Every structure is written in structure tokens, then in C-alpha cells.
Structure 1
């Protein structure tokens, strides 16, 4: 094939110089090179930005998620701060938190607490007036006829075992402690039917000695709030004691128990109406719809067995129940 005049088949001129079109093409290629590198840099930056942008509902990189869906394990410090904030907010919700057993002295509180096992505080409060009218002192109860005591406390359930316990502890108080309830944990737990939970109820509410009462409500909420993973009351007590100052132990117990009875129930917690839902890592275990959750609340009279209809006189600031609460 012949080429045009003065032009070789290779695209070069007769003088050996590159054809103008080729030269222009190479120049254009060199000018385009920086743009190509820029495109790669942009793509890389875009990929990095995409990787750093959190997916909806997930925490940003390098941050901790909220307790409702933590992507990273919560640190001990973060847990302690959250636990103490829960306590502070519960103090605002339940400024009138108190023991819900009726008593006039340490002996009555001790007996009432033993009788409260496997029954409600309301049932105990309905039963103890007749019991204490008949046997007002440890000496009286220790000398009672067992069958007569059984009949008086029958409504509380397990009345034979409870009769043995209250008469046994009364005899021990008479024989070993001069008829007085001791104000020390190590002495209280030697009494028949008295464990650490009962002892701390008596110490905290009759003697002003701080203690953590780990009942079924406290145990359930401590686990839901990730304060502990244990199901052993003694271990839970020890773990909680490291989270809160000693001065808070008794009132903390009342607040947690109040919340467990009124809102954070065992079977149907009212998550959607819970005032501390934003601090709860177990949010969603119960009803989250606000309207449906409000119907599960157990406030005021008729709400749950064992709740006082009114707080004691020294707790005048009881807030009104929220709209829709059972009354």
C-alpha cells in the first residue's frame, strides 16, 4: 500500500519526526494523566468516607453505642456512671420510696419481714395487727401455742414453717439477746428464719444501718440493667456494693424494688412508659408502645398487692400517676 507524499507508512514524516496527530495525541495523553490520578484519589477518598459513615442505627466508628444496642462492650466506668444516674433519676421518680411493711418497732419489722416470704406485703399488713395484739413481745410469741399462731398467720401461706421461724427467733431473742432485736448483721443471721435479705431490711429501716436488700425485684432489675450477671443474691449484693456509696444502699434498695413492682415487671415490663428507658440496656424486653405500656403500670390503689395507698407523712411529694395508669 502506498502512502501519501512525504509520509511513511509508520506515521512518521520523511524526516523521521512523529506525525502531528500522534504528537498531539501524546501531549493530550500526558495532560490527561494528572486528571486520572485525581480520579483515583477521589475514588479512594469516597471509599474511605463511605467506610467511616455509620449505617443507620449503628454507632459511628470509634464511639460507643447507646445501651439499647451497644456495638462495643460497656466499660466498667461507663456502667458505674450509668448505674448511678439510674439511681439519681429513680430518686426523682420515687421520692417517697419506703419499706411497705407496717411496723412500730424492730421486733415487728423482723417478724413481718419473715412472714413476707412468698406472699405480698399487703397480705402481711392485713395479718400482723392481730398477731402483734396477741403477742406484742418476743417473750409472748416464744411462749405461744403453735397452733394458735398458725391460725393467725395462715393467710400468709406456708404458715407452719413460718410459725416455727417466728417462734424460734422470738425464743432466741429472749434467751440470747435480752428480748431485744440486735443491731448487727452477724447476730441477726443467727436467728431462725433470718437471712441476709431480712437482716438488711431490719438494719436499714429499724437501725439506720446501710444495707442492700436483694429480693426478687432487685435481682431482676440489677441483671436487666447489666449491673451484674450473677443470679446469686450474696454475689449480687457484693457487686452492687462496689458500684454505689454505702450511704445510698438502703434507699437504692427501696427505689429499685418500687420500680420493679410498679413498672419493670417480671413478665411484662412497661418499657414504653419507663422514665429511665434511655438508660436501660434491656429496653425492648417488654411493651414499647407508649399507650399499651401505660396500661401495664401499677400505680396507686388497686395497682398491685402490697402497695400502700399513700406514702408516709414524711414523703409529701408523691407525684401523680401518669395518664392511663391502673387505679
Structure 2
């Protein structure tokens, strides 16, 4: 049986603003029938469609903060550490509050771990994060003139910094193409069937081998809001998905 796609972004499928006749669609919702056989996954087409589809939603937290001017390597790193196991809706105001008090490594080094903890109290694991942020700031102030170099090896040597945060710093603040894989990027790309991996680390390696480099930074910016609002972990909204005709829906047992 053919699949039915309901979407407010009809032009993303057809390349046209022309809508089906009113008799063939529900009010305010475009409907398109596609073959039950999926077309080959076209990453260029997928990224173009998703770029338009997520415009109504806030970008991923670190990209949003960078657009607000918190875009130095140290600020992106601190914001990323704040974001770990924390919703974007909490990360963004918490990071703003923190940066209203201290924005540079030297400024943060003058705070105590207890003061940092109070500033990020709304986040998950705030106490260990506070200690790690303080230790990083002190090291940068002592050894690097208060600046965080765009150096992957150094980033990965800092306490609490894993590949995701290191790559986000390099990609957002340093302009160095790196793929940052979080739960959304991991889930969505596997659900598409674009990669077949078990862990975010495996997904990062697979994407580095397959994803065109021009999308290495952008994929996190796009798939975080896409994964939150459309391709959700439970009951994804396949009925409004702009890449349903290409997505293999791997592991999807129920959807909206």
C-alpha cells in the first residue's frame, strides 16, 4: 500500500508551491502519496529539505549562543559542558547567566568552584561540571595566557571534555570541520539507514567516512532541532517528515 505524507512543507517534496486540490487534502495540511518503495537516500536533498523544515525552531543550544555572541573557543567549551545531559531549554539561559558573570578563562579562574556551581545550579551534574570548568580556566590562565587554542589534542586532554564538545568547539568557534554526534545525530542518521552503528562514537567515525565535509558542522545544528521536533526518540512524527520518502525508518515501531 502506498504511504501517505502529510506536511506543511509541500514544496520541499515537489520543488513547487502548487498544492494539491482541496478535495485531496485536509485543511491546512498538504498530502502526498509516495511509493512504499523508498528512493535512495540523497544527503544533499535531505539537508536542503531539513534546513527549511527546522527554520521555525531554535537552533541547537551552542549554535544559538554563538549567534548571540558567545562564540569564543572558551565560551563554546563552557556552554558545551553546561549542556551535557541537560535540555537546551535549560542550557541556554544557564549559559547566559554564567557569561553575565564571567566570559574569559581569567575571569572564571578568579571564581571558586562553589561560585561556579551556584551559577550553573540548574544543570545536571552541576557540581562536577563546576570543578571541571574551574580547573580548565585555571590551566588556561596559567599555561595559555588565558586563551583556549584551537587544538584538538589540548581540548581532549581537558577534564570533562569528550569528542562531542571538542568537535563543537573546533567547528563553531574555530571554523575547523568536525562532526559532533549527540543523541539526535546518532538516532536520526541510523533511523534514515544512512549509517548503521551502535554508539555515537561509531556514528562519528561512520559519518567522517561518508558525510560530505561541507555538512560536518551543520549536521549537528540541523539534526538537533529536527530530532527534537520531528524525528523524536519515541513516536517520531513521520506524517510530517520532509525526508520520509528516503528514510528507511529503521527501528520505528510506532509513529505519528
TM range (shorter): 0.7 to 0.9
Q: Residue 184 in 1 paired to residue 155 in 2?
A: no
For the residues of structure 2 that align with 1:286 and 1:250, how far apart are their CA atoms? 31
Structure 1, unpaired ranges of 5+: 1-55, 58-64, 69-77, 288-292, 294-327
Give the root-mean-square deviation of aligned CA atoms.
2.5
Choose which of 137, 144, 153 in structure 2 pairs with 1:170.
Answer: 137
Indicate the residue corresponding to 1:37 in structure 2. Answer: none
The 3-state SS of whatever aligns with 1:127 is: helix
Shift, 1:181, TM fit? 1.6
| Deviation for aligned residue 1:119 | 0.9
Distance 2:59 2:239 in 1: 25
Instruction: Quote the offset at 1:249 in angstroms.
Output: 0.8
Quote how far apart the aligned CAs of 1:204 are: 1.3
Contact 1:169 1:193 (C-alpha < 8 Å) held by counterparts: no
- Separation in structure 2 between the aligned mates of residue 258 and residue 220 of structure 1, nearest angstrom: 13
Deviations 1:249-304 (A, max 9, x none): 111221222210110100120111111111111176343xxxxx4xxxxxxxxxxx
List runs of 5+ in structure 2 lacking aligned partners.
3-35
In the superposition, the TM-score normalised over structure 2's length comes to 0.76
Tell me the equivalent position of 2:37.
Answer: 66
Q: In structure 2, what is the Cα distance between the partners aligned to 1:256 and 1:134?
A: 31
Distance in 1, Cα, partners of 2:92 & 2:220: 20
- Summarize the alignment of residues 272-291 of structure 1 with structure 2, pairs less than 5 Å apart: 272-282=239-249, 285-287=253-255
The structure with the larger Rg is: 1
2:180 partner SS: coil
After superposition, the C-alpha distances for 1:81-132 in whole angstroms (9 at most, x for unaligned) are: 5334322322332468844232423222210110001111221222223322
Distance 2:139 2:200 in 1: 26
Give the aligned partner of residue 201 of structure 1.
168
Aligned to 1:100: 61
- Indicate the residue corresponding to 1:123 in structure 2: 90
The alignment covers a number of residue pairs equal to 216
Query: In 2, Cα distance between the equivalents of 1:124 and 1:217?
Result: 16
Cα pair distance change 1:246/1:112, threshold 3 Å: same
Q: Given the two structures, how large is their TM-score scaled by the length of structure 1?
A: 0.60
Contact 1:83 1:243 in 2 (8 A): no
Considering Cα pairs closer than 8 Å and 6+ residues apart, tell me whether 1 or 2 has the greater RCO: 2
In structure 1, C-alpha distance between the alignment counterparts of 2:45 and 2:209, rounded to whole Å: 15
Partner Cα separation in structure 2 for residue 223 and residue 281 of structure 1:
9
Report if the CA contact (8 A) 1:172-1:191 is conserved.
no
1:224 corresponds to: 191
1:4-48: per-residue Cα shift (whole Å, max 9, x none)? xxxxxxxxxxxxxxxxxxxxxxxxxxxxxxxxxxxxxxxxxxxxx
- How far off is 1:228 after superposition? 2.1
Deviation at 1:168, TM superposition (A): 1.6
**Counterpart contact for 1:84–1:244, Cα < 8 Å:** no
Deviations 1:54-104 (A, max 9, x none): xx78xxxxxxx8239xxxxxxxxx5xx533432232233246884423242
1:82 aligns with 2:48: no
Q: How far apart are residue 193 of structure 1 and its match?
A: 1.3
CA–CA distance in structure 1, aligned partners of residues 53 and 129 of structure 2: 35
Q: CA deviation at 1:150?
A: 1.2
- For 1:256 and 1:281, the matched residues in 2 are separated by 17
**CA separation in 2, counterparts of 1:180 and 1:105?**
13
